[in-house]
Amino acid sequence: MRILVVEDEHKIANSIKKGLEQESYAVDVAYDGTDGYDLAASEDYDVIILDLMLPGIDGWEICRRLRESNNHTPVLMLTARGQLEEKLKGFRLGADDYLTKPFAFLELLARVKALNRRPKNTISTILSTGGLTLDTNTFEVKRDRIIINLSRKEFALLEYLLRHQGKILTKDQIIGNVWNYDADILPNTVEVYIGYLRNKIDKPFKKKKELIQTIRGFGYKISTR
């Protein structure tokens, strides 16, 4: 799961980022509206956490532009206490939920999870290929009905591969979606995690086709062919 935080108060932005990363989300932060809009419009996020009062482009305008360009990524607005008119305007422009500052991190987390559960583009909660299933709600992974235990990062990597099954994904795409752009990761981190996943979802099922494939010089894909 990948989240964008657009918030000009560095302290708030960084504490949201830190908290969400501990929950294994990949998090990008923009500290002004212009960067926020550029990232929101060009990258693929599962949820956008959007402050309203921002330098550059304000939160309402970001929301309006995204919806106008047919981007329906769930938006959680951060509003000041008691500003009913702000909230109503946000909803009118296409926001999905709001949270009043100051808020408890656990409440933010609950709302992010709830937004993520909403069907968008009719994505099912179960992703599958070749006898392998991954349930994004229960976090259960099985192959041929045998339960497979994955770490959070392995789960996030497998989910990303499955959401794009049949497509070759480059290391940079994988890093950007499963980790995040400025995370401190080593050049071979993706390879290492692909290895962990193979050991769990392919190696124990010797009679079955290997699902994770290396496309030398390009990247990886998950596919039954």
Q: Which is nearer to Ca ion, 58 or 210 (CB)?
A: 58
Closest residue to Ca ion: CB criterion: 53
Cβ-Cβ contacts under 8 Å for 144 (sequence gap 6 or more): 131, 205, 208
Q: How far is the CB of 13 from Ca ion (least distance, A)?
A: 10
Size of the site for Ca ion (CB under 5 A): 3
The answer to whether 101 and 149 are in contact (CB under 8 A) is no
Q: How far is the CB of 65 from Ca ion (least distance, A)?
A: 18
x/- mask, Ca ion, residues 97-136, rule CB under 5 A, reads ----------------------------------------
For residue 224, what are the CA distances in angstroms to 132, 173, 221? 10, 21, 10
With H, G, I as helix, E, B as strand and everything else as coil, classify residue 106: helix
Part in contact with Ca ion (CB under 5 A); list of ranges 4-12, 29-37, 124-132, 212-220: 4-12
Residue 8 binds Ca ion, judged by CB under 5 A: yes
Q: Which is nearer to Ca ion, 51 or 159 (CB)?
A: 51
Q: Which is nearer to Ca ion, 54 or 127 (CB)?
A: 54
Q: Which amino acid is at 160?
A: Y
Residue 61 binds Ca ion, judged by CB under 5 A: no
Residue 218: name the closest of 153, 168, 152 by CA. 168
Question: Do strands 75-79 and 97-100 pair parallel, antiparallel, or not at all (unpaired)?
Answer: parallel
Using CB under 5 A, pick the residue from 12, 32, 43, 53 that binds Ca ion.
53
Using CB under 5 A, pick the residue from 2, 31, 36, 51 that binds Ca ion.
51
Q: How far is the CB of 9 from Ca ion (least distance, A)?
A: 6
Render 37-69 in DSSP notation, one character per residue.
HHHHHHS--SEEEEESS-SSS-HHHHHHHHHHT
Q: How far is the CB of 80 from Ca ion (least distance, A)?
A: 9
Q: Which is nearer to Ca ion, 8 or 61 (CB)?
A: 8
Q: Is 152 left (phi over 0), alpha (psi -120 to 50) or beta?
A: alpha
Q: How far apart are CA 180 and CA 93, in angstroms?
A: 28
Query: Contact residues for Ca ion (CB under 5 A)?
Result: 8, 51, 53
